[in-house]
Structure 1
């Protein structure tokens, strides 16, 4: 049991909490949009300049984050990194990116432990 908990550093836990907040927060509003039968994409681009600005802002961050996920996962030998990107289209990048960061932090902690015991 301590083997499982050992790599959950405070930073990894913080990223995991943010992932859960991102999932709950985005899906709450997604549920409202579904119940109200809103045009999700139309609302993103035609609800005024402020919404369009936020949309472009988040889209650019999501693309940059996706590139980071692929590059960093390869560097650390993390498998299935593409799954975080695919899941972001189904859930939200506000969920998958902090989740990736939590798993990345666990990987870094495990690697540090391996170096310490080698």
Structure 2
């Protein structure tokens, strides 16, 4: 596997791991209620008891999750990534911010295995700087609200 693919898979896996830690750090308040009651209370809080900014983010993430799921189904069928429903269900039950990077890692590994990956792309320095800045903003924001 080329270095680009190894780095990309590592970035996706790190993103999924940090997303799991940072998102689930806010869930212990719901754990005592059982799975169904916890989900009802969580979504009630996220969509109806939140302030306008929280409601915006909840709706934004739900629509983003839908678009990610559409793309995951199409891409999984196109290149042969197995178990696409595991990623979709994980996005619902765990977090889309965990499931989607895991799918992207599986996708990259599948592309490498089938020799369909495109190695001719050139990422620019400004792209890397922008991605690092966006990553750091997300991490700092997640730590700030812990």
TM-score, normalised relative to structure 1: 0.81
Counterpart CA distance in 2 for 1:31 and 1:20 is: 18
Question: Gapped runs of 5+ residues in structure 1?
Answer: 1-5, 114-118
For 2:27, what is the secondary structure of its paired residue?
Answer: helix
Match of 2:113 among 102, 110, 115: 110
Counterpart CA distance in 2 for 1:32 and 1:22 is: 18
* Match of residue 22 from structure 2: 25
Counterpart CA distance in 2 for 1:109 and 1:9 is: 10
* Match of residue 44 from structure 1: 46
Match of 1:82 among 57, 81, 85: 85
Equivalences for 1:60-99 in 2 at 5 Å?
60-99=63-102
Cα offset, 1:58, TM superposition:
0.3
Deviates more, 1:24-33 or 1:52-61: 24-33
Cα offset, 1:33, TM superposition:
4.0
Q: How many equivalent pairs are there?
A: 109
Cα offset, 1:34, TM superposition:
3.4
Name which structure has the greater RCO, CA cutoff 8 Å, separation 6+: 1
Cα offset, 1:91, TM superposition:
1.0
For 1:57, what is the secondary structure of its paired residue?
Answer: helix
